[in-house]
Amino acid sequence: MSLVEETGGGLDGLGQLRALMHSGRKPGIMVSLDLDFIEVEAGRAVFAGVPGDHAYNPIGTVHGGYAATLLDSACGCAVHSRLSAGQGYTTLELKVAYHRPITRDTGLVRAEGRVQTQGRRVAFAEATLADAQGRLYATATSTLLVFDLETRAPKKA
C-alpha cells in the first residue's frame, strides 16, 4: 500500500494530498532530501527545502537533482490535486532549466507547480524554483500520463 493510500484512501487527489500533509508523514525522498510539502490547492502544489551539505555534489554546489526533485514533485502533485479517486499519474517527461547555482547559503527555496492543461490521459505542468527574495534558480516543464488505477487483487499468502 502506498503512503497516499494509507493516509487518504478513497478520497480524490486533492483530498489525498491534504490528508497526507495533515498526517505529518513524508515519503522517503522527502526525508532523504529534507523537503517539505507546504501548500496544495486544485491545480497547484508547493514544496520547499533548505539546501545543505546533504545535497552537495563534488564540485561544491547543490546537485541538480535536488532542484529537479523539487520541481518534479511540484508538477506531479499539482496534477495529482486534480485527479479523481480512481486515477493515478506518472511523469513521462521532465525538462529542467537551471538559471543559477544553488549553495548552502541560498537558504530556503520553494518550488511552485501549476497545471497548464489536463486531459483524460495527459497533463502538462510547469514549475519554478525561487529563493525567499524571489530570485529564480530553476524552472521546469513536465508531461504526465494520467491513468485509471487498477483494482488490486489481494496477495496470496
What does the alpha-carbon distance between residue 82 and residue 14 come to, in Å, rounded to a whole number?
A: 6
Lowest pLDDT segment from 64-73, 78-87, 143-152: 143-152
Q: How confident is the model at residue 156 (pLDDT cuts 50, 70, 90)?
A: low
- Digit-coded pLDDT (tens) for 81-125: 999 999 999 999 999 999 999 999 999 999 999 999 999 999 999
Q: How far apart are the first and last CA of the chain?
A: 16
Residue 71 dihedral angles phi and psi, to the nearest 5°:
-65, -45
Q: Find the angle CA(83)-CA(79)-CA(17) to the nearest 5 degrees.
A: 70
Query: CB-side exposure of 102: number of CA atoms within 13 Å?
Result: 32
* Alpha carbons 12 and 19: distance in angstroms, whole number: 10
pLDDT at 79: 98
| CATH top class, domain 3-148 | alpha beta
CB burial string 13-49: b at 16+ within 10 A, e below: bbebbbbbbeeeebeeebeebebebeebeebbbbbbb
Question: Per this entry, what is the length of the chain?
Answer: 157
Q: Where are the domains of the chain?
A: 3-148
Quickly count: other Cβ atoms within 10 Å of residue 8's Cβ. 22
Dist. CA 55–CA 63, nearest whole Å: 6
Alpha helices in 12-115 (DSSP H): 13-23, 28-33, 64-80
Whole-model pTM? 0.91
Select from 117, 66, 61, 121 the least CA-distant residue to 96.
66
